[in-house]
Each structure stands twice: as C-alpha cells, then as structure tokens.
Amino acid sequence: MKLNKKVLIIIGIIIITIIVLLVIPPNSERSDFEKSKEVVDNQLEEPDLKLTNPLISEPGMSDPHMLVVNDTCYVFTGHDVGFGISDWVMPDWRIYRSTDLQKWEHVGTIKPEDNYMGKGHTSCWAGDIAERNGKFYWYFSNHHDDAGVMVSDKPEGPYKDALGKPLVDSFDPTIFIDDDNTPYIVYGRTDYKIARLKESMIELDEEPKTIVINKTTYFPDMDKNSLHKRNGIYYLSCSGYYATSKNLYGPYEAQGRVGTGWELDTPYGHGDFFVWKGDWYHVWCRYRDRKKDRIRDSYIAPVIYGPDGEMRDDLSQLNATLATTE
C-alpha cells in the first residue's frame, strides 16, 4: 500500500517527538536545585580570594554568624567541647576577628554567667549579632528554652545582659535589618516567628507572626534560620536549604538547597550569609563525625546568584581541599 506524502510527514513528526521525549526528561522530573544549578554553573569562576577551611583552626567552633565593621570581619561562634559523647556541651560563645577572611584572631569570649543563664551553664546554643547606633547586640539561645540579648560598646565585648530575662520564648534567634533600617527578629524551630524590634533593639514592637513556607520542594522542619536580602528578594534559609519571598513576612517558596555534601544537604549546618567587599559568602558548621560526638567546625564558601535569584555555594575550593586530603 502506497502512503501519501501527508501521511508520511505526520508519521515523521510522531517519530521525532517520541525520540525527543525519550532523550530529554520532562522539566517536572528535575529538581529546583538542578534547574538553578544549570543557570549558575555558567557563572562559576575561581574566586580571587583563597579561603581557608575550616574557617577557625581550633576545633568545635560552631554556629557561625558574621558581623562586618568597616574593613574588619567578626565571626561569633558556639563552642563545642563534648569530645567523645553524643550530646552538645557548649560552655560559652567565642568571637574571632579577621581583616582578610583567612587569618582569624580570638578576641573575646561571652560567658553564660554574664547573662540570666548563669555560671556553669553548658547549653550556650546558636545566636546572632547586630550593630545599632554604635552599640553591639548579641542575641543568644538558652538551650532550646528561650532567647535573650546582651549589649556591648565594642564588637569584642565585654557583653552584659540587657534585660536580665528572655526576650522571646523560643530559641535560635536571627536579626535582620531591612533596607529602611527597620530591625526584625526571626526565631523558633519548627515554626519560625518574626517580629519587628523597637529602636532599643531589646523590645518587640509587635506581636510575633508565624512565617508560612510553601514546601513545594524539601525544606527542613527544624533548626536555626538565617535571613538575608538581595535585589528585592528575601532569602530564608535553614542549613543549606532556602526559600524566597518578595515580602519579608512571607509566604516563602522553598527553592531547594545551595549545595551537596559538607552538611549542606542535612538540616544541621547552622550558618549565615554575609557581604564582604562586594561579594556574598556563606558560613556554616559541619560535624566532624556525628556518630562519634557533637564536635563541629565552621566552613566558608562564595555564593553565586542566578538571574532569577537562584543561589548556590561555589564549593570548588572545598572540594579541591577534600581531594588533596583523601
């Protein structure tokens, strides 16, 4: 039977369509991270700044949060000392200073005996640091119970308790100052709360509101948050996972993760995003051996942003370091 030309053309189109569908997977089968990875991979370049990892050579420097003052960068960390045991033992917080993100000097220690937690407390959990009107405010977690605030005239301290009691009734505080200079606190674990702060930085200026995260892709249900803003987009992150919104209060849309490995694909990599000399960086902590104990180190990597706000850590230096040590 002879087929006419029109039928042959239709058959050809059908065959080509089948081949295309077999070779190229549907867009819906690719994760948000894979899509954003395609966009930002083309922008990855060897950074001019050679970073040192772990960030601090002393073991146990966890929960890093950054403060940039002029040409000096400060990192405020937790202090893990529970070697060989499966529990967190954290007797204080540490302050380190650097002018190049490479060499760090220990310049201060914040102790629980200087706030309402009291002497001998060993659950000095994650906090955050903020500067306002020439004062420096350290927001700290009292175990998983609540969060308080301390104040100092210098980044290095000494810090004193500003209230003598908790500021909020949950832990893991993050301080965010928006473009209009309004300060906010974000805190909590399974449900993040947000509230505007008064100019004093030690009082809430409104009732806290729950942040809604639309989890169209995976976003952890636990652990320390971080919040930053770039080009009108708010980034709410937990470990290596992040969600975005055009509205500070949300709702936020889960976008995937910023990297693979290095604790970025777990909920445990407490961290922070910050700008240093015009470039964005991500700092976070990673367990040495979670099966052995609860000792963590802090790591740093440049952040690459895509044209639609996608973000991903440039792990090239970290991966190169791993390759040379294995």
Reduced to 3 states (helix: H, G, I; strand: E, B; else coil), residue 136 is strand
184 forms beta bridges with: 176, 196
Q: Which residues contact 321 (CB under 8 A, 6 or more apart)?
A: 53
CA distances from 98 to 83, 216, 228, 310, 318 (A): 27, 39, 22, 29, 20
pLDDT at 44: 46
User: At 215, phi and psi to the nearest 5?
Assistant: -95, 70
CATH architecture of 29-325: 5 Propeller (2.115)
User: Which range, 20-29, 79-88, 165-174, is most confident?
Assistant: 165-174
> Per-domain residue ranges for the chain?
29-325
| Residues near 141 by beta carbon (within 8 Å), at least 6 away in sequence | 123, 124, 125, 126, 127, 147, 171, 172, 173
What residues are paired with 95 via a beta bridge? Answer: 76, 108
Kindly state the average pLDDT of the residues 250-254: 97
Percent of the chain with pLDDT over 70: 84
Asked if 149 and 201 count as a contact pair (C-beta separation under 8 A), the reply is yes
Q: Is the pLDDT of residue 208 over 70?
A: yes
Averaged pLDDT, 183-198 = 95
Closest by alpha carbon to 236, among 261, 210, 262?
210
Rounded mean pLDDT of 228-252?
97
Question: What's the token pair of residue 130?
Answer: 């903020």
Question: What token pair was written down for 116?
Answer: 């309402």
**Average model confidence (pLDDT) across the chain:** 88
Predicted pLDDT of residue 189: 85
Please state, as a whole number, how many other Cβ atoms lie within 10 Å of the Cβ of residue 177: 15
The structure tokens listed for 277 are 């000399």
Mean pLDDT of 39-61: 74
Q: From CA 173, how far away is CA 200, in angstroms rounded?
A: 17
pTM: 0.86
Query: Please, which pLDDT band fits residue 119 given cuts at 50, 70 and 90?
Result: very high
Least confident interval from 33-47, 157-171, 211-225: 33-47
What is the band of 221 on the pLDDT scale with cuts at 50, 70, 90?
confident
Q: Tell whether the model's pLDDT for residue 76 goes beyond 90.
A: yes
Judged against a pLDDT cut of 90, whether residue 225 lies above it is answered with yes
CA atoms within 13 A on the CB side of 27: 4
What φ, ψ does residue 211 adopt, rounded to 5°?
-85, 125
When computed from its CA atoms, the radius of gyration of the chain, rounded to whole angstroms, is 23
Three-state secondary-structure class, residue 20: helix
